Structure 1
Amino acid sequence: MGVILPRKTFFSFHYVPDAWRAWNVRNSWVVRDTDKKSRGFFDNSVFEASKKEGDDALKTFLRKGLENTSVTCVLAGTNTWSRRWVRYEIARSIIKGNGLLTVYIHGVQNNEKETSAKGANPLAQMGLYRTNRGILLAEWKGGKWVAYADYTLAIPEGDLWFAAPKTNSVVQLSTHCLSYDFTGQNGRKDIGGWIETAAGLAGR
């Protein structure tokens, strides 16, 4: 008889403006089923302490946060797409083989009952391309695609759960991943299904 393990999901978000929104979204998922567990909800003081130790310490901290997760849910606010450490969490999720999805949370109220402007899809601001060294990560920066700076090694094609790019033209991650609007698409009820769909696409 098989053992059904709880789905562990890593939530990636822009802390300062969106922490309240992110907590509300995460809690609407967790409270429905006590078996569901999330990662990525670090105390900001711990995050800042790791950042002060330097980039390598923070990267280690974030990689540990992703351990034992099978899905990464990017909670997109106004400027989430441009945040360096959100991009790193996305990159490590690809390397790890996690399912990925974007959930727009700009329509969720913060603690002052304010919504925010919809931002770009963070998964459309990162992509993969083929070189003679293998499959590499790219990021949209300064109005153009550039090699992703925080992870420069080739990713084995067999580690990808979707088809690898065939040329040196960047294929956005959003090509392979679904996105949803938490407020506009009844996320309070349906986010669990969205996460399961992302897991299924990745074979997780």
Structure 2
Amino acid sequence: MARRTFFSFHYSSDVWRAWNVRNSWVAKPDHVDTGFFDNSVFEASKRENDDTLKAFLRKGLDNTSVTCVLTGTDTWQRRWVRYEIARSIIKGNGLLTVHIHGVKDRNGYTSTKGYDPLAQMGVYRSSGSIYLAEWKGGKWVSYSDYTRAIPESDLWFAAPKTDSVVQISNHCMAYDYVQQRGHQNIGGWIETAAGLAGR
């Protein structure tokens, strides 16, 4: 059965790097990618309104079992990458971070390693329910793009017991595409993420 993977990334900064990673993924049998849409479609949805863009991104996650966050310098602070992570948590997708700052862009340049986006998102317990949080302005705050409780049974990892935020990265693996030979190994990394999530 084909493994359907959603790739989340910061389009304007990292699309060239992301395409290189994606091409190494889809070159293997039974690998299907999603999340690589034409930027004009993304921008058109964004211009219409936030709800339209959210629906567009949720549809992109349909029928996927893993979300691979391709991480450059500023990916960690991008609102829509965070939304894709949040919806992946709610959906029960396996998650992993792949740092791609060392992949050359179209001009042959690498960039600076950024923070892990999965460390900037977390979950916490409040009044017996589980909610999403994000690191913003130097502190943890309730995640504003999805404010409803998440059923504990929907989480593939242990739910937090207190109101202290537990980073999503505590339950996921992170890799460096260049240093850890991602061209050869990304398939195994994605399968590990799927296995952790029971997908």
Q: TM-score range by the shorter chain?
A: over 0.9
Equivalence for 1:23: 19
TM-score, with length taken from structure 2 = 0.99
Equivalence for 1:7: 3
After TM superposition, list the pairs within 5 Å mapping 1:59-138 onto structure 2.
59-132=54-127, 134-138=129-133
Q: What's the CA shift string for 1:26-62, capped at 9, x where partnerless? A: 11111122x2110100100000000011000000000
Paired residues of 1:133 and 1:154 also in contact (CA < 8 A): no
Select which of 152, 155, 160 maps to 1:160. Answer: 155
**Separation in structure 2 between the aligned mates of residue 25 and residue 38 of structure 1, nearest angstrom:** 11
**Separation in structure 2 between the aligned mates of residue 32 and residue 160 of structure 1, nearest angstrom:** 30
Paired residues of 1:79 and 1:119 also in contact (CA < 8 A): yes
**Separation in structure 2 between the aligned mates of residue 27 and residue 130 of structure 1, nearest angstrom:** 40
**Separation in structure 2 between the aligned mates of residue 6 and residue 124 of structure 1, nearest angstrom:** 29
Q: What's the CA shift string for 1:159-191, capped at 9, x where partnerless? A: 000000000000000000000000000000000
Paired residues of 1:127 and 1:173 also in contact (CA < 8 A): yes
**Separation in structure 2 between the aligned mates of residue 120 and residue 142 of structure 1, nearest angstrom:** 15
Is 1:54 the equivalent of 2:49?
Answer: yes
- Counterpart amino acid of residue 194 in structure 1: W
**Separation in structure 1 between the aligned mates of residue 102 and residue 22 of structure 2, nearest angstrom:** 15
Equivalence for 1:197: 192
- Counterpart amino acid of residue 2 in structure 2: P
**Separation in structure 2 between the aligned mates of residue 111 and residue 84 of structure 1, nearest angstrom:** 25
**Separation in structure 2 between the aligned mates of residue 189 and residue 6 of structure 1, nearest angstrom:** 18
Task: Please give the secondary structure, in 1, of the residue aligned with 2:189.
Answer: helix
Q: What's the CA shift string for 1:51-92, capped at 9, x where partnerless? A: 011000000000000000000000000000000000000000
**Separation in structure 2 between the aligned mates of residue 173 and residue 133 of structure 1, nearest angstrom:** 19
Task: Please give the secondary structure, in 1, of the residue aligned with 2:97.
Answer: strand
Q: 1:193 Cα deviation (Å)?
A: 0.1
Cα root mean square deviation, aligned: 0.6
Structure 2 residue runs of 5 or longer lacking an equivalent are: none
Name segments (4+ residues, structure 1) moved above 4 Å.
none
Equivalence for 1:179: 174
**Separation in structure 1 between the aligned mates of residue 33 and residue 141 of structure 2, nearest angstrom:** 32
**Separation in structure 2 between the aligned mates of residue 183 and residue 138 of structure 1, nearest angstrom:** 31
- Counterpart amino acid of residue 24 in structure 1: N
**Separation in structure 1 between the aligned mates of residue 127 and residue 142 of structure 2, nearest angstrom:** 14
TM-score, with length taken from structure 1 = 0.97
Q: 1:133 Cα deviation (Å)?
A: 5.4
Paired positions, count = 199
**Separation in structure 2 between the aligned mates of residue 134 and residue 27 of structure 1, nearest angstrom:** 40
Structure 1 residue runs of 5 or longer lacking an equivalent are: none
